[in-house]
Amino acid sequence: MTLALSLGVIIIGAVLVSLYGIISGLLIMGVDRKLAARMQARIGPPLSQPFTDLRKLLVKQSIVPENAIPWLFNGAPLLALASSLVILLYLPIGPLAPVLGQYGDLVLVMYLLTVPALAMVAGGFSSGSPYATVGAQREMVTMISYEFPFALAIIGVAWRLGFAGVGLPFSLLTLTTTPIWSIVGPVGFLGALLLLVLVMLVIPGEVSRIPFDTPEAETELAGGLLLEYSGRNLAMFTLSLGVKTIVMGSLAVAMFLPWNLSPLLGLTGIAALVVDLAFFALKVFAVLFLAVILLRIGVARFRINQVVSGYWAYLGAIGFFGLILLIADAALAGMV
């Protein structure tokens, strides 16, 4: 394949994946609001409500506060959306290989996940609002908190694959072709299950959803980070959160639930592609339903000190215990 053709394939793939991320991100936000309303005995808005809200925001003026830093205030939403879409290019979508799969791995994805959060922090600080400043500080503390257990989960899975002799254990393509469940015994299965639970509890922190939405906290900070944002800037921040939600769901599926359905059904060609994509969407929805929708309905917002202690102490302990179980499983496998 020539360089021009390869570049063209990457560009087309990036455009299609970006459209997928934006549309599915808005759709999952609509499903989230609808299901949450139903579980609270309300009717709720239609599934298309996020698309309607986005259309309204895009035609409204973006107001910049007088004491804000204009270039940073306006640039932060664009950086948040662009970085969220870039992460999606490194993730497999069902049976489809990542657009940029050969250029990155889990470590790169983990670092890229901090960029949208840092963009929101920069936007909050640059707005000049005391409420947004407090929200930005909380976002920084929250980000530092959930990165530790998230790193434990990634290291644990990759280490166990590497110990089993699997090449490129940090590669997402490796995870999709060699699920961790296929190489562990009963002890390692329990350890991997704990790491799966850990990743699912990191997801609401990554996407600033209840009970880990202390940076926004409407009842305390009147919106916090996004208080001064409006119009197109607020639309881009909204899109970035929707895309990042899909990113986190897709990452959890790639790490722990990478199976396709077509081999079991004996399908090939277009039929296999359609079935596997539908099955992938179902898995992402199941992960997000448990990690985001159900959790925010059943649990009230945490205080910032509870967020820190929850991620560092409790989830950190779960991560270490899961890692120890994987190490014990590897030792038992080596003795056989």
What would the pLDDT profile of 235-275 be if each residue is shown by its tens digit? 999 999 999 999 999 999 999 999 888 888 888 888 889 99
247 inside domain: yes
Q: What residues form DSSP beta bridges with 24?
A: none
Would you state the torsion angle of the CA atoms of residues 240, 246, 250, 256, taken in this order, to the nearest 10 degrees?
110
Distance between CA 116 and CA 223 in Å, rounded? 17
> Domain for residue 18, yes or no?
no
pLDDT (0 to 100) of residue 283: 95
The per-residue pLDDT for 217 is 66
The answer to the question of residue 182 being in a domain is yes
Coil, strand, or helix at residue 214?
A: coil
Is the residue at 9 inside a domain? no
- Quick check: is 49 in a domain? no
* Exposure string over 241-264, b if 16+ CB within 10 A, otherwise e: bbbbbbbbbbbbbbbbbbebbbee
Number of structural domains found in the chain: 1
The residue ranges of the chain whose pLDDT is under 70 are 1-5, 217-224, 334-336
Is 1 domain-assigned?
Answer: no
Residue 56's CB is within 10 A of a number of other CB atoms, namely: 11
Q: For residue 47, is it within any domain? A: no
Which whole-number Å values give the CA distances from 132 to 102, 121, 138, 222, in the listed order? 39, 9, 10, 9
Residue 42 domain-assigned (yes or no):
no
Q: What is residue 78's predicted lDDT score, i.e. its pLDDT?
A: 93
Query: Of how many residues is the chain composed?
Result: 336
pLDDT at 29: 92
Q: Could you list the residue range(s) of the whole structural domain that residue 317 is in? A: 54-335
